[in-house]
Structure 1
Amino acid sequence: MTPADLSRTVLHAVRRAVDEDALRAPVPTRVRVERTRPGGSGDYACAVALQLAGPAALPALEVARILRERVAAEPGVGRVEITGPGFLSFTLDAPAVGDRAVLDAVREQGLAYGHGDALRDEILQFHHAREVRAAVTAQAVRRLVAAQGARVRVSCDAGSDPDWARLGVTVDAHGTPPVPLTEVRPVPAGATAGELLERLGPDAARWGLLRPAGHDRAALGPELLVQGEANPLFRVRYAHARTRALTRGAALLGFTADPAPYAAPAAPRGSRPEHAPGAEHAPYGEVPVPDDGAARPLLDLLADHPGVLLAAARHRAPDRVARQLEAVAHAFFDFHDSCPPLPAGDEKPSAAHRARLALAEAAGTVLAGGLSLLGIRAPEHL
């Protein structure tokens, strides 16, 4: 069960409680679940009971009890606890099944993984000044909200800068429209599109404009062109290119990705049984997933990706996507170094290698999809 699945499960429980007249409150359009913080209880938590307590005219603890009995019976949910003033904490059953579901979803949806229809009922009008950072930010926000089903138009104070097109910017109208609109006004870049393109090129310029939050000044120096680990853009694109190289390398060795081991029970934390003699010949159902210590952060980030994209769309914050991609790239390299997806030397490809390759390919797909939403190319070779 992914975080998005759990969110829908809790929302369904709220609807059931309202339909059964156990709870008299408006059903929210969505329920937000978050990964439990260190020291907390369970895998995920949400505050929906506190949100509904006022409208329902009930104590939050009572609302939580009403929802707990309905969520606990759902497949994939192992335990539901009530903590604090009325938080619901969820422990999921068989996390390896959830991992397999995430990898399958990434493979099936490709670059559209994390897109949805949560904003399908919204018609939005964004408006920005005739300034390059505002124009690029509005275009990125447009991509994000459209990926969640919204219909959107973008207008500008005055005529477009001809160089904006080279940054992937399109404007539907000029002048202030006589309709409700959302202003997109980040801190100005302090340079024109032409100047940024000449110094940085389109990809580095877009990253430099979008990576900081809108209220922060954009760093647009030559560090954006450095091909090294200190440059987050290079690290993200290099991680994507590395995942593609792994796929090519596996093809030369005669094997392909297969996430089947993620449907098997997870190996004990900290164990490395896939290195035991004969492990490479074990049936898929008996092969443990790649080392939990390295794979878990990457798997969690991939599972959280749809929620990050939706939050970025709702908050008009493309910087959230950039930070998510940095985290995925970092977790991928940690995983890659601890659990190489390709066999070394005379080692034969095993089910563990196929599973690792499946995780690496999923990471590459998420990185490419996220860069696409930011309007940045994801080359296969760097």
Structure 2
Amino acid sequence: MTPAQLSRTVRHAWSRAVAEGALPDPAEPPDRVTLRRPPHGDADYASNLALRLAAGSGRSAAEVAAVLRERLAAEPGIARVEVRGPGFLNITLADRGAGLVAALLARPRPATLPEDPARDAARWAALTGEPPTFARRPCSPLFRVQYARARTVALCEGARALGLTARPEALPGAAEQALTALLADAARLAGPALARHLVRTADAFLDVLYAPAERSVLPVGDEKPEAAHRARLALAEATGTVLAGGLTQLGISAPDHL
């Protein structure tokens, strides 16, 4: 389930509750449902819809959240819904991001710009306010983004040589979940916010890439390919799609090799 699909699902749960008489119809119905990463716990998303609906309804946000929780928990693709604090809904997806990765893999490969280090450095500096730099070192945020994208290409090439194909599946690791969450948020950003987000995404991907050998993207040595390898490969390929698309959107090249 993608964030957009989940947003529609939450809104549908509210509509059902109103139609069934479990909640009053507000004077100003919400036009959309905003989802954010929860500050605490291991849920995938949090919504403040209950707090918005409670205003002027004569009910507490916790009561509204309980009604929404009951309906959301029965929806396909949702594993768990909890009411936290004054009425926040913490939602855990059943696929833990596998649906999002599958959707990203289904996208056409982004058309990237010709490599031009001078243009890239100037454009990045204009977006972020950082001094222009041509340095290809880890201290350069732009280099880390371009390097991470190039590593996804190298992984896909290595997988083809091994006959390994990507297969989106749920990955329980904290690093993988953190990366998946960042991929979900990229589509709604632009300009400087997108540039900063790409740096966070690249760093999260490198955390996954340089994880211990037992959690490697590709099989190591005589290791046999397993479902986890295929799932991490799918996550890496999806990351490459997001990084390449984001760089291109910013007017910056996304080299296949560095």
Structure 2 length normalisation: TM-score? 0.84
**How far apart are 1:247 and its partner, in Å?**
1.5
Give the residue type in structure 1 aligned to 2:50.
A
Q: Structure 1 CA distance, aligned partners of 2:49 and 2:230?
A: 40
**How far apart are 1:323 and its partner, in Å?**
1.7
Match of 1:235 among 144, 157, 162: 144
Q: Structure 2 CA distance, aligned partners of 1:351 and 1:359?
A: 12
Number of residue-to-residue matches in the alignment: 248
Change in Cα spacing, 1:8 to 1:328, as seen in structure 2 (3 Å) is same
Give the residue type in structure 1 aligned to 2:8.
R
Change in Cα spacing, 1:226 to 1:10, as seen in structure 2 (3 Å) is same
Give the residue type in structure 2 aligned to 1:12.
H
Structure 2 residue 209 is the aligned partner of structure 1 residue 209: no
Change in Cα spacing, 1:79 to 1:373, as seen in structure 2 (3 Å) is same
Partner of 1:226: 135
Partner of 2:182: 301
Structure 2 residue 169 is the aligned partner of structure 1 residue 257: no
* Contact kept? 1:103, 1:259, Cα under 8 Å: no
**How far apart are 1:366 and its partner, in Å?**
0.9
Higher relative CO (CA 8 A, sep ≥ 6), structure 1 or 2? 2
**How far apart are 1:57 and its partner, in Å?**
4.3
Structure 2 residue 253 is the aligned partner of structure 1 residue 372: no
Match of 1:330 among 203, 213, 217: 203
Q: Structure 2 CA distance, aligned partners of 1:293 and 1:70?
A: 28
Change in Cα spacing, 1:89 to 1:346, as seen in structure 2 (3 Å) is closer
* Contact kept? 2:44, 2:181, Cα under 8 Å: no
Matched residue of 1:109: which SS? Answer: coil
Structure 2 residue 9 is the aligned partner of structure 1 residue 100: no
Structure 2 residue 154 is the aligned partner of structure 1 residue 245: yes
Where in structure 2 are the equivalents of 1:109-258 lying within 5 Å?
A: 109-110=107-108, 201-211=118-128, 218-221=129-132, 224-253=133-162, 255-258=163-166
Matched residue of 2:149: which SS? Answer: helix
**RMSD over aligned Cα atoms:** 2.6
For residues 147-202 of structure 1, give each alpha carbon's deviation from its aligned partner in whole angstroms, at most 9, with x where no partner exists.
xxxxxxxxxxxxxxxxxxxxxxxxxxxxxxxxxxxxxxxxxxxxxxxxxx9xx722
Change in Cα spacing, 1:80 to 1:367, as seen in structure 2 (3 Å) is same
Structure 1 length normalisation: TM-score? 0.59
For residues 108-134 of structure 1, give each alpha carbon's deviation from its aligned partner in whole angstroms, at most 9, with x where no partner exists.
12457xxxxxxxxxxxxxxxxxxxxxx
Matched residue of 1:14: which SS? Answer: helix
After the TM superposition, which parts of structure 1 deviate over 6 Å for at least 4 consecutive aligned residues? none
Partner of 1:65: 66
Residue segments in structure 2 that go unaligned for 5+ positions in a row: 111-115
Partner of 2:113: none
**How far apart are 1:250 and its partner, in Å?**
2.3
Give the residue type in structure 2 aligned to 1:231.
S
For residues 320-343 of structure 1, give each alpha carbon's deviation from its aligned partner in whole angstroms, at most 9, with x where no partner exists.
211221111111112111233333
Q: Structure 2 CA distance, aligned partners of 1:248 and 1:342?
A: 11
Give the residue type in structure 1 aligned to 2:3.
P
Give the residue type in structure 1 aligned to 2:251.
G
Partner of 1:18: 18
Where in structure 2 are the equivalents of 1:66-81 lying within 5 Å?
A: 66-81=67-82
**How far apart are 1:32 and its partner, in Å?**
1.1
Give the residue type in structure 2 aligned to 1:7.
S
Give the residue type in structure 1 aligned to 2:187.
L
Q: Structure 2 CA distance, aligned partners of 1:374 and 1:350?
A: 37
Residue segments in structure 1 that go unaligned for 5+ positions in a row: 113-196, 212-217, 264-288
Change in Cα spacing, 1:79 to 1:355, as seen in structure 2 (3 Å) is closer
Q: Structure 2 CA distance, aligned partners of 1:294 and 1:65?
A: 31
Change in Cα spacing, 1:72 to 1:337, as seen in structure 2 (3 Å) is same
* Contact kept? 1:18, 1:27, Cα under 8 Å: no
* Contact kept? 2:118, 2:134, Cα under 8 Å: no
Once structures 1 and 2 are overlaid, which stretch shifts more, 103-112 or 224-233? 103-112
Matched residue of 1:320: which SS? Answer: helix
Change in Cα spacing, 1:74 to 1:327, as seen in structure 2 (3 Å) is same
Partner of 2:4: 4
* Contact kept? 1:111, 1:366, Cα under 8 Å: no
Change in Cα spacing, 1:66 to 1:357, as seen in structure 2 (3 Å) is closer
Match of 1:359 among 235, 240, 252: 235
Give the residue type in structure 2 aligned to 1:47.
N
